[in-house]
Copies of this chain bind each other. A is one copy, B any other.
Amino acid sequence: MNRISDLFKMKYPIIQGGMVWCSGWRLVSAVSNNGGLGLIGSGSMYPDVLREHIKKCKKATTRPFGVNLPLLYPNIEEHINTILEEKVKIVFTSAGNPKKYTQILKDNGITVVHVVANQKFALKCLDAGVDAIVAEGFEAGGHNGIEEITTMCLIPQIKSIVDIPLIAAGGIGSGNSILAAMSLGADAVQIGSLFAASKESSAHINFKNKIIESNDGDTVLTLKEITPVRLLKNDFYFQIENAYKNNASLEDLKDILSKGRAKKGIFEGNIIDGELEIGQISSSISQIQSVDQIFKKLIDEFNSKIDYLKDIRL
């Protein structure tokens, strides 16, 4: 009995975050075939590319999978049409107001989950009628909240005001941290970085190698004036840092960010000039593993840890 596993009809309460340039049909179907929930990251896909990945995913797995839809995506209506036409059953929305699209998705029989980083947006989710909430902490990779609330603080804060199923994200990279998230009140977890570095991730090998080589303190949440994003510190980041030191305007920052930086870094493997979006837990990731190996390890760790703790009482 787990509210999230039941909601999505999957074996394990483990969701793979829908990440730009990482989560195409190969990763998504591998996660779903392992008993988790894979999410296609539509934020980096043109509408026809999204359609292709949905079609391929349907062929590669009979298990449930979903699509992550960042609400700041420029051609969002097209993505929504694709999702409806392809009869996708699960959509995770993020980076925007859940009130805008939840109803139309739900009217079409879709289970809707929204990603939040504070209590205010969790309450908006309840108003919007979403089926579950992802609460994503400051340590998470990619786009993130401005309040810098960490997973350790965010999960209890969201749990205290919502009754619907709750998924923890940010800093989760082991079975131990799945148990930690559940201790804090989450029903399930969404894992990003670990899957970004998996064999089935569509990210470039240079990016995956950069993840497994990274140390603690190597990521930073930056560009808070545009959209806060956590990334690995590389030459591109140091350009941003220099711009800040020279009192860059918003326009200067946007010029540096320019277009296609995430694609350049994550997909094309330009680890010098690209934007390397990844979570703080990347420093705990030391090898590129298959999704099968990742699931086996997560489950073994979780079960060993609860076996170890189960008889402790204070």
A: residues with CB less than 8 A from B are 12-13, 118-119, 137-139, 147-154, 156-157, 160, 170-185, 215-217, 220-221, 247, 280-281, 283-284, 298-299, 302-303, 305-306, 309-314
Contact = CB atoms under 8 A, between A and B. Distances in A.
A314 B148 CA distance: 31
Contacts of A298: 314
A174 to B, nearest CB: 6
Nearest to A295: B314
Contacts of A312: 182, 306
A314 B11 CA distance: 8
Contact of A176 (B185, B221, B247): B185
A150 B177 contact: no
Contacts of A179: 180, 183, 309
A13 to B, nearest CB: 8
Contact of A303 (B13, B178, B181, B314): B314
A149 B216 contact: yes
A233 to B, nearest CB: 11
Residue from A175, A216, A305, A312 whose CB has the most chain B CB atoms within 10 Å: A216
25 contacts: A119-B215, A139-B152, A139-B153, A148-B217, A150-B150, A150-B152, A152-B152, A152-B170, A156-B173, A156-B281, A157-B216, A157-B284, A176-B185, A177-B183, A179-B183, A180-B180, A180-B181, A183-B305, A183-B309, A247-B247, A299-B314, A303-B314, A306-B312, A309-B310, A310-B310
A12 to B, nearest CB: 6
B309 A306 contact: yes
B12 A284 contact: no
